[in-house]
Amino acid sequence: MVAHSTIDETIEGAPARYWHALDDGRIQCDLCPRFCRLHDGQRGLCFVRARRGARMMLTTYGRSSGFCIDPIEKKPLNHFLPGTPVLSFGTAGCNLTCKFCQNWDISKARAFDRLQDLATPEQIAQSAVESGSRSVAFTYNDPVIFLEYAVDTAKACRARGIRTVAVTAGYVCAAPRAEFFAQMDAANIDLKGFTEAFYHRLCSAALAPVLETLEYLKHETDVWLEITTLLIPGENDSPAEIEALSAWVMEHLGPDVPLHFTAFHPDWKMLDTPPTRAGSLIEAREIARAAGLRYVYTGNIRDEDTQSTYCHGCGARVIGRDGYDITGWRLTAYGRCRDCGARCAGVFEGSAGSWGGRRRPVVPGGLRL
Ligand code: SF4
């Protein structure tokens, strides 16, 4: 591993891992299933991994589009240290091309005009400690494309007792996937739809590698896993598709992986598609629960009934939520229902935090371009 601890090094970028030279003189990136093949000076589709001479570089190492302390429920993670603050940041670029992107100002950034904040991994970890954050989240844009920066930051966090969270589409090859998630304590995987046609047409990507990542996380790691599906009217919200998605989760991941159905708002290249009705989210939740999933939530709307957590043993509301506020708590310190003793799946330590819905910007390194 290359250690990066100075601002000069972070401004220059860092050597990238996961690539090899081809016989025709190009270099192939092996980080994600796009396998970009680059001549000198070219960038990959994600824009942040680039060929310089005979090697690949991560051009955004140490640079961020901003740091903010968020509620952990905003990632969304409902079963991972509920109510606690998480220091969140992203960089620029993305390895998917979703026409419905809800963060396009960051993910589509090209001139790096958004990358104003400079921070080393050590500075980020220290900022998390000083701000009272329980975890650091790699989010806003997909962290697999800035793997080297995320991994170094995660190691610095763990050395200080700070947990780590990845919010990602899970579109990554097997070897980098293992390195990346070995440093993560929790992940929310964006399962964008449940057909290859959807992934191909709207994201220029494929579903199968994402399903592989989900199975890998559940069966081969200790990473706490939740899933989010943004329901887009007329694109991925048919009852048949939601039934198929839910049945797959039940069969391949089991009943305890939380599933979030969140509302789309018109954005990026899908400005003519209407926003998701609250009723659609609630219906999707019913379908998933009927398939046997225990923890299914609506998101991007406000509805305490469908955003609270219920005991799978007795049906008691064990975690009440109103927006990002925890309104009820009936779990023991180790996550058991106070009424019947059934265990609620997740990572619980003591009682809930009280961070609520606050968002507080911070500048970990104190340096801005
Ligand atoms: S990580 Fe970026 S450069 Fe590498 S294959 Fe994926 S899109 Fe291409």
What number does the ligand 1 atom closest to the CA of 56 have? 3
Residues 6+ apart with CB under 8 A from 80: 72, 135, 163, 165, 185, 186, 224, 226, 346, 347
Name the nearest CA neighbour of 125 among 115, 117, 135, 110: 135
Q: Which residues contact ligand 1 via a Cβ below 6 A?
A: 29, 31-32, 34-36, 44-46, 49, 95, 145
Nearest CA to ligand 1 atom 6: 32
Which residues share a beta bridge with 49? 58
pLDDT of residue 39: 97
Encode burial over 180-210: b for 16+ CB neighbours within 10 A, e otherwise: bbebbbbbbbbbbbbeeebbeebbebebebb
Query: In a structure prediction context, what are the per-residue pLDDT tens digits for the chain, which is 369 residues long?
Result: 333 344 444 456 899 999 999 999 999 999 999 999 999 999 999 999 999 999 999 999 998 988 999 999 999 999 999 999 999 999 989 999 998 888 777 666 554 555 678 899 999 999 999 999 999 999 989 999 999 999 999 999 999 999 999 999 999 999 999 999 999 999 999 999 999 999 999 999 999 999 999 999 999 999 999 999 999 999 999 999 999 999 999 999 999 999 999 999 887 777 888 999 999 999 999 999 999 999 999 999 999 999 999 999 999 999 999 989 999 999 998 899 999 999 999 999 989 999 999 999 998 866 555
Q: Whose CA is nearest to atom 5 of ligand 1?
A: 35
Count CA within 13 A, CB hemisphere, residue 304: 10
Tokens representing residue 339 in the block:
């009424």
**Rounded CA separation 142/262 (Å):** 18
Query: Which residue among 17, 22, 31 has the greatest number of ligand 1 atoms within 8 angstroms of its CB, and so is best to mutate?
Result: 31
First and final C-alpha spacing in the chain: 27
The pLDDT, as a whole number, for residue 115 is: 63
pLDDT at 5: 40
Catalogue the E-assigned strands of 204-289.
224-231, 259-263
With both helix axes pointing from N to C terminus, report the angle between 147-159 and 174-181 in degrees, rounded to the nearest 10: 30
Output the DSSP codes for 285-298: HHHHHHTT-S-EEE
Q: Are 276 and 264 in contact (CB under 8 A)?
A: yes
pLDDT of residue 363: 85
**What is the C-alpha separation between 92 and 362, in angstroms, rounded?**
18
If one residue of 95, 98, 203 were mutated to test the ligand 1 pocket, choosing by the most ligand atoms within 8 A of its CB, it would be 95
Residue indicated by tokens 């980080």: 31
309 with 317: CB under 8 angstroms? yes
**Residue 200 — φ and ψ, nearest 5°?**
-70, -45
Ligand 1 nearest-atom number relative to CA 34: 5
Burial 232-242 (b: 16+ CB within 10 A, else e): bbebbbeeebb
Q: Whose CA is nearest to atom 2 of ligand 1?
A: 46
Q: How far is the CA of 95 from the centre of ligand 1 (A)?
A: 6
pLDDT of the residue at 66: 87
Q: Tell me, rounded to whole angstroms, the distance of Cα 175 from its chain centroid.
A: 19
| Burial class of residue 146 in the structure, from the number of CB atoms within 10 Å of its CB (0-12 exposed, 13-18 middle, 19+ buried) | buried
Q: What pLDDT sits at residue 284?
A: 98
